[in-house]
Amino acid sequence: MKVMDTETGKIPGTAGAVTRDTPGGWLRRQVVGSPNWMILPLLIFLTVFFFMPAIKLMLFSVMTQDPQGRIGTPLTLSHYVRFFQVSLYTDVLWTTIRISIITSVIAAILAYPVAIVLVRGNIMVTRIVTLIIIAPLAVSVVVRAYGWQLILGNGPTGLLNYVLLNLGLISEPLALLFSPVAVVVGSLHIFFPMMVLPLASALGKIDPNLEQAGRTLGAPAWKVFLRITLPLSLPGLVAGVTLVFSLSAGAYVIPALIGGPSSQMLGNMVEQQIIAVYDWPFGATIATILVLIVLAINALSMRLLGGRRIREIQK
């Protein structure tokens, strides 16, 4: 308070006295005083290389392309109409949403025990588990996708099939590769850290005494989890699900390499339309729909996180 007074030239104790604003004072307070300007370089970079191309692409989706390939007026919504009228495209939309939901739900279920071990386990276990989770991030998605090709390979020579056949667990090789299952498995592997890390961070903020209080009040361990741990970890769960859903929905490499024709996703269709068909406006339409889905999921999660009870948890 006192600092403010000297800055505006107001002498404390002389209310109503002349207020002299020193020249450049405003600028100093706004720019020098706050570190906000430090994000300027990034902002410029993003504007030129991300926001502008993205906006341009979205504009393409309401434009027409003439036979020479020039994109321009008249403006039209016909690409969107076409997208939702042709079952081939809506099928891909549903495949994308289905695979993303299944991936995030399975990731959440698998991530809870891992995150709990990360937070409550002893230091050695924590370190090893962290390493197992983080290490795959060091390997390119493409390399990992080819790895999954070897493991899931159809026919008796695929690694998984080979093992299962030799163990006598199956009599016929499974057709895993080039199926939605393969895409879910691959996406899970790649996006799992995005679920575990926010979840572990949220679980780490829960006071262990709360769980112990729940136990002394008569709740068995599973009820303590449902009534105390789960609701209190919701911020992490919502963040993780949002991340994994968004990343899975936008996936391109995984469905392209191990998905096969039955599990192509929106990302692959964008590529087809733009590279193979050379239909920029329709490719842009699909891309825009993908962006809208991801934005909608993010908006929903922001809303959930903004709820009163969740705000209380985060305090």
Partner 1 sequence: MESVEVRLEHLTKEYNNSFVAVDNVTLTVGAGELLALLGPSGCGKTTCLRMIAGLVDPTSGEIVIGGKPITKTPVHRRNMGMLFQNYALFPHMTVAENVAFGLEMRKFSRSEREDKVRKALDLVKLGHLADRIPSQLSGGQQQRVALARALVIEPSMLLLDEPLGALDKSLREQMQLEIRHLQQRLGLTTIMVTHDQDEALTMADQIAVMRAGQMEQIASATEIYQRPATQFVAGFIGASNFFEAEEVSRDGRRAQLVTTSGIPLDVTNMRLVTKRVMVTIRPEAITVRPLGAEDPVAAPNTAVAVVEQVVYRGFMLHYYLRMDDGTEVIAYRQTQTEGWGPVSAVGDRVRISWDADSNHVVPLVAEAAAA
Shortest reach from residue 197's CB to partner 1, in Å: 22
26 contact partners, CB below 8 Å, separation of at least 6: none
Cα gap 292→298, rounded to integer Å: 10
User: With respect to partner 1, which residue has the nearer C-beta, 23 or 218?
Assistant: 218
Nearer to partner 1, 109 or 221 (CB): 221
**Position 172 contacts partner 1 (CB under 8 A):** no
Interactions with partner 1, residue window 197-236 (CB under 8 A): 207, 209-210, 212-221, 223, 227-228, 231-232
- Whether 178 and 156 have beta carbons less than 8 Å apart is answered as no
CB of 228 to partner 1, least distance (A): 6
The least CB distance from residue 118 to partner 1, in Å, is 21
Q: What is the dihedral of CA 303, 305, 311, 312, to 10 degrees?
A: 120
66 is a site residue for partner 1 (CB under 8 A): no
CA distance 113 to 63: 49
Nearer to partner 1, 85 or 212 (CB): 212
Nearer to partner 1, 123 or 167 (CB): 123
Q: Find the shortest distance in angstroms from Cβ 111 to partner 1.
A: 21
What are the backbone angles phi and psi of residue 290, rounded to the nearest 5°? -60, -45
CA distances from 208 to 129, 195, 196, 269 (A): 21, 21, 19, 48
300 scored as a contact of partner 1 (CB under 8 A) = no
Largest CA distance in the chain: 93
By beta-carbon proximity to partner 1, the closer residue of 20 and 311 is: 311
The piece of 38-46, 144-152, 261-269, 305-313 that touches partner 1 (CB under 8 A) is: 305-313
Nearer to partner 1, 70 or 309 (CB): 309
> Cα-Cα-Cα-Cα dihedral of 6, 7, 8, 9, to 10°?
40
Residue type, 85: Q
Neighbour count for residue 267 (Cβ, 10 Å): 21
Give residues in contact with partner 1 (CB under 8 A).
207, 209-210, 212-221, 223, 227-228, 231-232, 309, 312-313, 315
